[in-house]
Amino acid sequence: MILGNGIPKPDGTLDYFGANDPIRRPRQRLQGYTFSVRVFKWKNGKQGETIQTIKGSCDAPEYVYKAAMRVIRNPYPKEWEEQKKIIQWKFENISRLPELKYLTASLNGFIQGDTTVAFAKSQGMVVGEPDLRLQCARRGFHSIVIELKRLANGRVSTEQKEYIAWLNKEGNCAKVCKGHLEAIKLLEWYLS
């Protein structure tokens, strides 16, 4: 495992560093205590903009470092973070675009574990259901449906591709959007 060492790197390079981590300071490794590691960009030879702060247990610090490395490999916001920004935008713009009141989200991405998935399917959950749906007819479509993905490394599953193709065939505007800005732009276009 390679630890971030705090030694300056070229501007824009992603790195991580935990000032009080239990691997560098073994006596910090006390049962039940937590520590944090900052993932950041180097700027002018100094630790700059924080991308994410990861907290974890001193009992198993390797999990915190693995999480930091995952952020460095793909620093883009997670899909749920992008969706949260769209919902925040929705509430900020309901007075201007009242139809946004009925923008709904599928919770397929949040349902995990075999028991929960089985229960959700028994209640009508469909694999591949897109993330966002607005049931109002505009621009010759019945509704708009958005499958949201991360800016990078977001993969559209076979089920999602099939579902989107079927929705488009049935007269809906169904699209895959990378990031919240692309989704917001599509919603603005659809409702204007």
Kindly state the tokens that stand for 52: 């994410």
User: For residue 39, what are its two tokens?
Assistant: 């993932």
Q: Could you tell me where the beta strands, DSSP code E, fall in 13-115?
A: 14-17, 34-43, 46-57, 103-105
Domains of the chain with bracketed CATH? 14-73 (no CATH), 79-191 (3.40.1350.10)
* Global pTM value: 0.68
pLDDT, tens digit, for every residue of 114-132? 777 788 778 877 888 899 9
Residue 1 has pLDDT above 50, yes or no: no
As given in the structure block, the two tokens for residue 108 are 């397929």
Q: What is the dihedral of CA 158, 83, 153, 15, to 10 degrees?
A: -160
Return the minimum-mean-pLDDT range out of 17-31, 79-93, 116-130.
Answer: 17-31
Q: Average pLDDT for residues 11-36, to the nearest whole number?
A: 69
d(CA 168, CA 145): 9
**Phi and psi, residue 108, nearest 5°:** -55, -40
**pLDDT tens string 60-69:** 778 888 888 8
